[in-house]
Amino acid sequence: MAPSGLKAVVGEKILNGVIKSVKKDGEWKVLIVDHMSMRILSSCCKMSDILAEGVTIVEDINKRREPISSLEAIYLISPVEKSVRALINDFKDAAFTYKAAHIFFTDTCPDGLFAEIGRSRVSKVVKTLKEINVAFLPYEAQVFSLDDPNSLYSFYSSKPNKDKDKIMENLAEQIATLCDTLKEYPAIRYRKGPEDNARLADEVYQRLTAHKADNPSMGEGADKARSQLLIVDRGFDPISPILHELTFQAMAYDLLDIKQDIYSYQTTGIGNSNDREVLLDEDDELWVQLRHMHIADVTKKVTELLRTFCESKRMCTDNANLKDLSQMLKKMPQYQKELSMYSTHLHLAEACMKKFKGSVDKLCEVEQDLAMGANAEGEPLKDAMKSIVPVLLNNEIGAYEKIRIILLYIFHKKKGIGEENLAKLIQHANIQADSNIITNLQNLGCNIIAGGRNAEQTLPERRERTESTYQLSRWAPIIKDVMENAIEDKLDRKQWPFISDPAPINTTQTAVSSARFGHWHKNKSPTEYRSGPRLIIFVIGGVSQSEMRSAYEVTRATDGKWEVLIGSSHILTPTSFLNDLKSLDQVPNPDS
Amino acid sequence: MKRRQRLISVEIRTQQFIQRSLLSHLYQCVLKEERQPDRGNLLDIGNLDLFSRPTMRDRLSNLQEVSNSHVEQMEYAESTVSDTFSNIDLEMELPHEAVVFEDNSPALEDVFSQSQDIHREIQLIRVEIKRLREQNSRMMGVTTMSTIKRDSNAIGADIKARAEGVLARLRDMDGEAHKLEEEYGSNCAVTRIARTQYACLSNGFRDTMFDYNEAEMSHRENCKAQIQRQMEIVGREVTGEEVEEMIEKGQWNIFNDNIMAEGKTARSALSQIEKRHQELVDLETRINGIHEIFLDIALLVEEQGPMLNTIQTNVQKTDEGIQEALVKLNRAKRHDKNNPFKKMFCSCFPCVD
């Protein structure tokens, strides 16, 4: 099934706009990428797609490459100094590395670098030079990432960071290219509180207006005037990234070691056992179906699907005679792929449950009570300390788990806790080495020490939720409330101010007739042209898996009228979040 | 027993090609032939609209302005400057002169022409499969089947022959890729190009064969359903399982029960059923043919895994070790120059260095 949403839009833009546009029959080309563009490319295109369009090899610009002077090169790079230098180097000597160059920058090239390119010998062999305005990673159909895992440090470190302005400009530019790619010109709002929100919102607005000047069709459409871009900081909801979630994707990334979306496990096939690596992304239809489901449902569903599959194809090997075997063989090749998908997900679910039954199930109960402030029956929590002390004293539970419990306890006590209490808790839990994680959270604007910094910060009021949930999954991320309010236009203007005067939100019809019939002559591909309004949310400092899930849930609840996109500089797992927090007060590593 | 063993081992081998199949790629290639002529008329307006909208900024003209304004001064200066810079370059950057890259363009040409041929063959097979599909669907409706059936068989045989040809070529290509790997090293561009081409072509070929299998299988199902319907007309109800059994065992004596039955309609229905049966038997032999090919594909396609298709892993697989070596070499060179003994000699006998 072809991916839809962001991946499809970006994939189509790159395949059509970059690779197909310079395709010539009978001629192959070399595609050269740098780190950022490689990530963008590999998240939405496959080798066979680009091979079909005449690219025969993909190279990294920063590695030594041997000259292939018979082929032309497509450079898909970000306009940073390192990449541009490497580009110029390719054509510096007498023998050019490639026959010609087609250069595509992911966003605007600064004038200095542009002049350098103009001065160098590259300019003689340049046949194309375009800025494609795609500087973000389409992580999922409704999730984008800006691929900057250090952003938590850049924004919230204790030491003043002089590069912060530059980083903010880059971020703003990347967000602007997102809006450009989606052809949206949203109204920008930010959460009133930390001044970074307002500054970033301002920068984005400037760049967005610049893009609109080049591209006046942005934001055109009957409903597009209602689109909004919300800028939120991580400190707004510090609970969601540290809570143990029990939906498939969040649980897998939290409990298992999944790097770069690749899940490796061992299969015990017929006879041999081998290591298998599977990429968990949207090409795997089963993953798309299962990723937001609760783990209990997942195991049930996969076994049910597998059973119907086997029955319908009569694959039970128990009483198979020759005829059945030959039948199976005839249909085997297609079934191989489906069977392997089922097997992967069963393994994944099993591994999650194993880890869960180990120690996490006890933690989940305590965590949910603390996060909701009430136990499963709805009674408010009377003595939180009593429930967390046995966890803290338990030596089998890891340090990070204990820290998560302590943090949830602190957030439960809305005004923070006293310093001595905190010291006592840390001592009980025996986590002195990691205790700075807790104090560093204050950099995000959270209220940790009673009467200390951020004394006025409180977590916002929550909406009433009436849908039935599992006992251990009662928590809904705060951002979900914000999304629903924004869609219903109930978001408080004082807490969420607009950068510019918002377009009047009216429901009168415009002169053009209905969206269905009025645009028949425009050949719009279904992936690109969405006629409904979009709500784009950018979280400074990282977005958690549960928040990503909320975006899909809210979109579904509106029956497709609104599309909610959420993203950040990187995707958080609880472990990575705590690791980042730990390093907030340290001097940056000079190599990174 | 042996046959069962063989089937099981085939099972193992077929288990080995676990790769992501790319239906979209298949459709792209299949439909690309037809899509291109269509682009001319209706959709042109829309497409132009899409691309002329400046979603991308074209700055080629800017570049040419900038470069033209520098061209006169630079051209002379550059030639003199580059000579003097070459020494310093050795210290700071790592130029291409330090390592000699062999000229491998003839090998490259070979790879490309090979892959072009195989690609064309695969396209032709796809066209044949389409024709087969049309034939099959026509056969379902029409009663005079003999000519159409002959064509189907002919197409099937043609596909099989072509597929075997492609398989042989793919194997050759694999051999060539291995030879290139030995000659130029596994991270050389030519080797990587050859390997990528081979992987993608074998993927495409495998998808094509799946498609063929699918076509034949669905036709088989349709025939079975038709037999069932016909038998109901004749008056006897049979379940799908029984039809399968009848096909397997080749027993068609059930039909003979009704040979004494009433009227022409029964007899004509009967003859149709028998034709279908014959048709199915032919189908079975064709399918057996495919399976020999599938066996070969299974051997051909090694355990590459779906990761091969991911660009990120592809790019990251290349290594760069030489930079380190060169830095160390330079350092060694410098240390060597600083060698006091050498310095003494150098001061006595000024040497060209």
Predicted ipTM of the assembly: 0.73
Contacts of B247 in chain A (CB under 8 A): none
Q: Is B256 exposed, middle or buried (0-12, 13-18, 19+ CB in 10 A)?
A: exposed
Q: Under an 8 A CB cutoff, do B320 and A64 touch?
A: yes
In this structure, which amino acid lies at residue B198?
A: Y
Q: What is the mean pLDDT of residues B245-266?
A: 61
Task: Kindly identify which residue of chain B lies nearest to residue A14, measuring between CA atoms.
Answer: B56
Contacts of B318 in chain A (CB under 8 A): 59-60, 63
**Long-range CB contact pairs, A325-332, < 8 A, 24+:** A325/B4, A325/B7, A326/B7, A328/B11, A329/B7, A329/B10, A329/B11, A329/B14, A329/B291, A330/B213, A330/B217, A330/B287, A330/B291, A331/B217, A332/B11, A332/B14
Diameter of chain A measured on Cα atoms: 79
Task: Kindly identify which residue of chain A lies nearest to residue B93, measuring between CA atoms.
Answer: A89
Across the strands, what pairs with A559? none
Q: Under an 8 A CB cutoff, do B315 and A114 touch?
A: no
Contacts of A71 in chain B (CB under 8 A): 108
Q: How many CA atoms lie within 13 A of B194 on its CB side?
A: 31
Q: What is the pLDDT of residue B6?
A: 56
CA distance A56 to A72: 11
Q: What is the pLDDT of residue A375?
A: 79
Overall pTM surpassing 0.80 (yes/no): no
Could you tell me the end-to-end alpha-carbon distance of chain B, in angstroms, rounded to an integer? 79
CB atoms within 10 A of CB B118: 23
CA distance A475 to A470: 10
Give the C-alpha distances (Å, rounded to integers) separating A287 from A283, A294, A326, A345, B257: 8, 13, 31, 8, 53
CA distance B305 to A340: 11
Span B209-244, pLDDT tens digits: 888 888 888 888 888 888 888 777 776 666 666 667
Q: What is the mean pLDDT of residues B106-128?
A: 88
Q: What is the pLDDT of residue A510?
A: 42
CA distance B247 to B227: 11
> Most confidently modeled of A500-509, B17-26, B28-37?
A500-509
CA A59 to chain B, closest CA, distance in angstroms equals 6
CA A331 to chain B, closest CA, distance in angstroms equals 8
**A347 CB contacts (<8 Å, ≥6 apart)?**
A265, A267
**A558 CB contacts (<8 Å, ≥6 apart)?**
A487
In this structure, which amino acid lies at residue B57?
A: R
- C-alpha closest to that of B204 among B62, B32, B343, B20: B20
Contacts of A132 in chain B (CB under 8 A): 55-56
**A393 CB contacts (<8 Å, ≥6 apart)?**
A428, A429
**Model confidence band, residue B45 (pLDDT cutoffs 50, 70, 90):** very low
Fold entry, domain B104-314 = Methane Monooxygenase Hydroxylase; Chain G, domain 1 (1.20.58)
Higher pLDDT, B206 or A248: A248
CA A15 to chain B, closest CA, distance in angstroms equals 13
CA B156 to chain A, closest CA, distance in angstroms equals 16
Residue B310, helix vs strand vs coil: strand
Dihedral angle sign, alpha carbons of residues B141, B145, B148, B154 = positive
Contacts of A134 in chain B (CB under 8 A): none
Read off φ and ψ for residue A585, nearest 5 degrees.
-100, 15
Which residues of chain A from 441 to 480 reach within 8 Å of chain B, CB to CB? none
Domain boundaries in chain B?
104-314
Diameter of chain B measured on Cα atoms: 123
CB atoms within 10 A of CB A498: 14
Q: What is the pLDDT of residue A308?
A: 85
How many pairs of residues across A and B have Cβ atoms under 8 Å apart?
Answer: 230
Report residues of chain A scoring pLDDT below 50: 1, 318-320, 505-515, 518-519, 522-528, 591-592
**Model confidence band, residue B203 (pLDDT cutoffs 50, 70, 90):** confident
CA B273 to chain A, closest CA, distance in angstroms equals 22
A66: Cα separation from own chain's centroid? 35
Q: What is the pLDDT of residue A420?
A: 86
Phi-psi region at A143: left, alpha or beta (left = phi > 0; alpha = psi -120 to 50): beta
Task: Kindly identify which residue of chain B lies nearest to residue A217, measuring between CA atoms.
Answer: B53
Read off φ and ψ for residue B349, nearest 5 degrees.
-115, 95
Contacts of A52 in chain B (CB under 8 A): 25, 28-29, 200
- C-alpha closest to that of A263 among A147, A351, A146: A351
CA A396 to chain B, closest CA, distance in angstroms equals 37
CB atoms within 10 A of CB A407: 24
**DSSP one-letter string for B219-246:** HHHHHHHHHHHHHHHHT----HHHHHHH
CA distance A454 to A452: 6
| pLDDT above 70: residue B193 | yes
Span B274-311, pLDDT tens digits: 888 888 888 888 877 777 777 666 655 554 555 667 77
Comparing A16-25, B2-11, B139-148, B187-196, the range with the smallest average pLDDT is B2-11
Q: Measured between CB atoms, which of A64, A271, A279 is closest to B94?
A: A64
Q: At what angle do helices B240-249 and B189-234 cross, to 10 degrees?
A: 110
Across all residues in chain B, what is the average pLDDT? 69
Q: What is the pLDDT of residue B298?
A: 64
CB atoms within 10 A of CB A251: 24
CB of A131 less than 8 A from some CB of B: yes
Read off φ and ψ for residue B101, nearest 5 degrees.
-95, 130
| pLDDT above 80: residue B267 | no
Q: What is the pLDDT of residue B296?
A: 67
Contacts of A68 in chain B (CB under 8 A): 105, 108, 189
Q: Under an 8 A CB cutoff, do B54 and A214 touch?
A: yes
Q: Under an 8 A CB cutoff, do A133 and B57 touch?
A: yes
| pLDDT above 50: residue B19 | no
CA distance A172 to B294: 53
Q: What is the pLDDT of residue B34?
A: 35
Span A161-186, pLDDT tens digits: 778 888 899 899 999 999 988 888 88
Q: Under an 8 A CB cutoff, do B306 and A279 touch?
A: yes
CA distance A570 to A291: 19
CA distance A351 to A56: 39
CB of A362 less than 8 A from some CB of B: no
Q: What is the mean pLDDT of residues B304-319?
A: 67
Q: What is the pLDDT of residue B139?
A: 77
What are the helix (H) ranges across B144-252?
146-184, 189-234, 240-249
CB of A337 less than 8 A from some CB of B: yes
Q: Under an 8 A CB cutoff, do B54 and A274 touch?
A: no
